[in-house]
Amino acid sequence: MNTVLHKAKTRGYANHGWLETYHTFSFADYHDPERVRFGVLRVLNDDRVSPGRGFGWHPHDNMEIITIPLEGDLEHKDSMGNTEVIRHGEVQVMSAGTGIMHSEYNASQEKDVKLLQIWVFPDTFSLKPRYDQISLKDVEKENTLYQILSPVKDDQGVWIHQQAWFYMGKYDKETTETYYLKSRQNGVYFFLINGEAVIEGTELSERDGFGVWETDKIEITTKPGTRILVMEVPMR
């Protein structure tokens, strides 16, 4: 078993006034050759966007982009004609494929929006772009992990063009569970949104990241008040 620990305070940071952002992996002006990616997981950004502000029209291609609002609502527009508001309790996926333009703005004029944006390399390039967005209300569970993303179109949650599985967990009591990997060729990256956890003997607190690979299973103990994002991805 191999592991890597990324404490919250070691992340890249930028404050643009309207945007405060933390980068777990190298992004924009933050570059650390030891923290470029975790397998096919390329970007994990933790953003706060001021009321009415946001990211103007910009391009992406050949990337699977997942957005998870943690607080507030995010307005999305893209060159496929989609105009949507992504709310807390929902997850959005955009397969950029051959190329897409989009913008993202805080839908509120009064409150900040806080979100995670995650980029994953696809397993097939130059595909037709696509967009999807779902509510997690019908799938979320208490005190156990529940799936929010997979490579299977008809599976629970959204799907992407990659052999990846994402889970979330929200805990109001101390819980110990075992995560079984889909493939030994994969690794799992844990991001602690809130609270405290112990994963394979390593203590984690809010906004810490922890990667594990070359194993079949991982033991997780979560404390009350913990919310966690689990991302299983190929390590190639």
pTM above 0.75, yes or no: yes
The pLDDT value given to residue 138:
83
The pLDDT value given to residue 56:
87
Report yes or no: 83 and 107 within 8 Å, Cβ to Cβ.
no
Strand partners, 119: 43, 65
Domains of the chain, by residue range, sit at 11-135, 146-234
- Find the radius of gyration of the CA atoms of the chain: 17
CATH of domain 11-135: 2.60.120.10
Third-level CATH fold of 146-234: Jelly Rolls (2.60.120)
Could you list the pLDDT tens digit for every one of the 236 residues in the chain?
A: 999 999 999 999 999 999 999 999 999 999 999 999 999 999 999 999 999 998 989 999 999 999 999 999 999 999 998 899 999 999 999 999 999 999 999 999 999 999 999 999 999 999 999 999 999 988 999 999 999 999 999 999 999 999 999 999 999 999 999 999 999 999 999 999 999 999 999 999 999 999 999 999 999 999 999 999 999 999 98
Strand order in the sheet with 54-60: 54-60, 100-106, 73-78, 83-87
Strand partners, 105: 54, 75
**Cα separation of 228 and 116, whole Å?**
12
- Residue whose token pair is 């599985």: 165
The pLDDT value given to residue 43:
98
At 45, which amino acid appears? N
- Do 146-234 and 11-135 have the same topology in CATH? yes
The pLDDT value given to residue 236:
86
